[in-house]
Chain A
Amino acid sequence: GENVEQHPSTLSVQEGDSAVIKCTYSDSASNYFPWYKQELGKRPQLIIDIRSNVGEKKDQRIAVTLNKTAKHFSLHITETQPEDSAVYFCAASIGYGNKLVFGAGTILRVKS
C-alpha cells in the first residue's frame, strides 16, 4: 500500500553540525514532497517542499534533495541551532487530491 518510511527516528547533533533525515516512498506517481516541523504541543508547520520535476531545493540553512529513480528524498539542515530541535515529518502526495502520506517522524535534538 501507500507508504513513507523515515529514518532515523531520533537524531542528536552538536550545535553547528549538519543533520540529515531520509525518507523513501512507495508510489511512483507521487509528485510532491513537503517537510514539516512540529514543536512540542504545536501544529506541524511546512518548512520546505519539492516537486518531482526538481532534484534539489534550498532555503537558507535547509535543503531537500529528491531521487525519483530510487524513490527517496532527504532533508538537510546545516549549521544547526538549538531552536531547530523538534520533530520533523516528511510526506509524499498520493493520487489525485493532494492527499499526503506522512512518515513516522524524526526527533531532532540539537545540543548546545
Chain B
Amino acid sequence: DTGVSQNPRHKITKRGQNVTFRCDPISEHNRLYWYRQTLGQGPEFLTYFQNEAQLEKSRLLSDRFSAERPKGSFSTLEIQRTEQGDSAMYLCASSRNYGSLNYGYTFGSGTRLTVV
C-alpha cells in the first residue's frame, strides 16, 4: 500500500457535464475526507466518511455534489451539471482515528478539474 491514490489526475469537461472522481485511501485508515483547493488558498473541507458512513457535509457541498464510500473502501465524488466555479483541485485524504485521538491526514495527489 503506497498511499492515497486518486484518479484521474486531470479532468477537463464542458460546463453542464457530470464528472466523477475516485479515491483509494490507505487500507488501514478508517476515515476518508474530500477537500477542494483553489489557487492560493488552503484546502476547504467538503465531506468526510468514517468507514462507509458519511458523517458530515460542508455547506460548500451543493446538491450537485454527491459522495459515496461503498463498503468503507474507495470513495467517489460526483459533480453534476458542472459550472466554471467548480474548477479546482479536489483532494482526498485518509486518516486513522481511535476514539477522540486525532492523527494527521495523508493526502492524495488530487484531481485537477477544469470546466470550460
Residue of B31, B33, B43 with highest tally of chain A CB at under 10 A: B43
A-B CB contact pairs (8 Å), 29 listed: A6-B42, A31-B102, A32-B102, A34-B104, A36-B107, A42-B109, A43-B91, A43-B109, A44-B91, A45-B107, A46-B104, A46-B106, A49-B104, A89-B42, A89-B43, A91-B42, A93-B102, A96-B100, A97-B31, A97-B97, A98-B48, A98-B95, A99-B33, A99-B48, A99-B56, A100-B33, A100-B45, A102-B44, A103-B42
CA distance A52 to B42 in the complex (A): 22
Knowing A89-B42, A89-B43 are in contact, say whether A98-B31 is a contact too (CB < 8 A): yes
Are B102 and A102 touching (Cβ within 8 A)? no
Bitwise interface map of B from 87 to 116 toward A, beta carbon under 8 Å scored 1, else 0:
000010001010010111111111000000
Task: Give min CB distance, A26 to chain B, whole Å.
Answer: 15
Residue of A4, A34, A98 with highest tally of chain B CB at under 10 A: A98
Size of A's binding interface in residues, CB under 8 A:
27
Residue from A6, A36, A103, A105 within 8 A of B40 (CB atoms): A105
